[in-house]
Structure 1
């Protein structure tokens, strides 16, 4: 702004200096105004960008909120509103989706925030010792004036990232030269190596890859077919199904051996669960059953290796358990399924004792407790915590020590539970 002078000098040089100073002030004001307009424009663009980011984050939060409401409805809603038989798997998908959505929001907001120094994680992840370790040393660029100068390393920073080498196909070509001898006359050639699929294409490693993907990772053969096709390798699902049949045949002795070793133990844990299977010609699935028999003596101070055997059946009949366990004469830990009780009550079952599973018993009480539907269920769960605490203290100790601790502490806890149930039982309808 040009100052207003009361009196102007009469000298021409002073007038020129005064005019030049006024013009300089005008230029500076114009420059400041231009910088202010540029800064305003930059802030306006940043505000618009943040507005869009917040809108996208809000939309993502709304989507995640809807997913959580669906999960809440499945947990507490009416039976008709629940996800269905595969609710555990569906809920795992829900949690994965929520975690992914939250990470997306964090990444989007972090990209718009001012740069901050990265903080090292407090707890470094632990990896198994067999992983290959590849070290990359990044040397700094040395300025010209420091070339050839003596230097001393005063420290180093190390960061670890987890890498993966994708599985790749390769061809194993086995060549067996054939040699002829004249004196004495003979022809020699190395015998052909034995394979699981005789004269077949797959190596044992490929069979293991397909089997683990199908049975352990739940990856159907038609999906594996599409995955392998991305590498230009055409493996039809029917062909891989034939391979899995051969693998199952060769594994039958091993599976029988595992179950036989389990039956040698003093105690066996048994359980069964539904397994939806395809019903050929019906165009839908039917309910089959997967029976599991486990042996793990580590919590009891034993040195035997843990193992589990699975048996597939199309029914839940107690005859299945009788066929699997045979003449077993130990402790069978199980739930309250009548098929096991029938097995224990059979005439030939001398020496077979049933041990009820406290975890199965607690499950229904805990469901009522979590929903706040029963004071008795809450009291039961609280009382069972004391049992769990005793077992935590004696886990891995010799049988005599565990028995002594249970007689001293657990007996009174269990008696209190039965007293509670017997008081409430007459008040419950049949």
Structure 2
């Protein structure tokens, strides 16, 4: 936590007895308090400046005598959401479990008029354009390991793409490397099924040992040894 000091001096720096000037002989931390400084929303305008060469224009020796500055590409094309806004929306949703419709109220109070449909699109686009490539690279790192822990747990999906009822089980699979093979990588794979096809697809490039439970899907995959 950043430390900020507030110094308090006597209102009268003259001695009450003889009126001579007082000289400081020390200081004491009287108390500490936590101060919250709210975040603020800022509208940043990216302005491109154009310059021209007067000489080239005069001589007409070159057709491209104008040079223009280039603003950086937006995190999401044609969207007002900058990287910091996207990061906060995703953090609040997945780390603080704050629903998007409630986030809309907070953004409105901060000065950004939006709706939960916009926020949902921002989350999807950020995940597909920026986070998915990172996930795929982490998956490549995971596939290069020789020892993995794998397990799956039940999840519910309200609007299933396979047409089954929301009461039907979906599954979140977790794949984890071990500390003896470098920094631990933990990845999740969501699937509507618990079948072996999930493992076949995910472990295509993996060759090694998988530590798992006795579920029948963990069996008979090429180049993989299962240690139950």
TM-score interval, normalised by the smaller of the two chains? 0.7 to 0.9
Q: What does the per-residue CA deviation read over 1:97-153, in whole Å, with 9 as the maximum and x for residues that have no partner?
A: xxxxxxxxxxxxxxxxxxxxxxxxxxxxxxxxxx32212233456673376234522
CA–CA distance in structure 2, aligned partners of residues 282 and 234 of structure 1: 37
Q: Which runs of 5+ in 1 are unaligned?
A: 1-130, 357-430
- Higher strand proportion, which one? 2
Q: 1:148 aligns to what?
A: 21
CA–CA distance in structure 1, aligned partners of residues 167 and 2 of structure 2: 44
Change (3 A) 1:172 1:246: same
Q: What does the per-residue CA deviation read over 1:55-88, in whole Å, with 9 as the maximum and x for residues that have no partner?
A: xxxxxxxxxxxxxxxxxxxxxxxxxxxxxxxxxx
Q: What does the per-residue CA deviation read over 1:277-329, in whole Å, with 9 as the maximum and x for residues that have no partner?
A: 332799967542222212241xx4x5x22221121211222211221111422
Q: 1:311 aligns to what?
A: 189
1:182 CA displacement: 3.6
TM-score (norm 2): 0.80
CA–CA distance in structure 2, aligned partners of residues 327 and 234 of structure 1: 46
1:260 CA displacement: 1.1
Change (3 A) 1:223 1:337: farther
Task: Provide the aligned C-alpha RMSD in A.
Answer: 2.7
CA–CA distance in structure 1, aligned partners of residues 98 and 105 of structure 2: 11
3-state secondary structure, aligned to 2:56: coil
Aligned mate of 1:179, from 40, 51, 58: 51
Larger of the two Rg values belongs to structure: 1
Verify the 8 A CA contact 2:145 2:206 in the aligned structure 1: no
Q: Which runs of 5+ in 2 are unaligned?
A: 58-64
TM-score (norm 1): 0.45
Change (3 A) 1:283 1:176: farther
In the alignment, does 2:4 pair up with 1:134?
A: yes
Count matched residues. Answer: 215
Q: 2:204 aligns to what?
A: 326
CA–CA distance in structure 1, aligned partners of residues 149 and 32 of structure 2: 42
Q: 2:177 aligns to what?
A: 295
Q: What does the per-residue CA deviation read over 1:188-212, in whole Å, with 9 as the maximum and x for residues that have no partner?
A: 1112311221132111111111112
CA–CA distance in structure 2, aligned partners of residues 203 and 322 of structure 1: 38
Structure with bigger RCO (C-alpha 8 Å, 6+ apart): 2
- Higher helix proportion, which one? 1
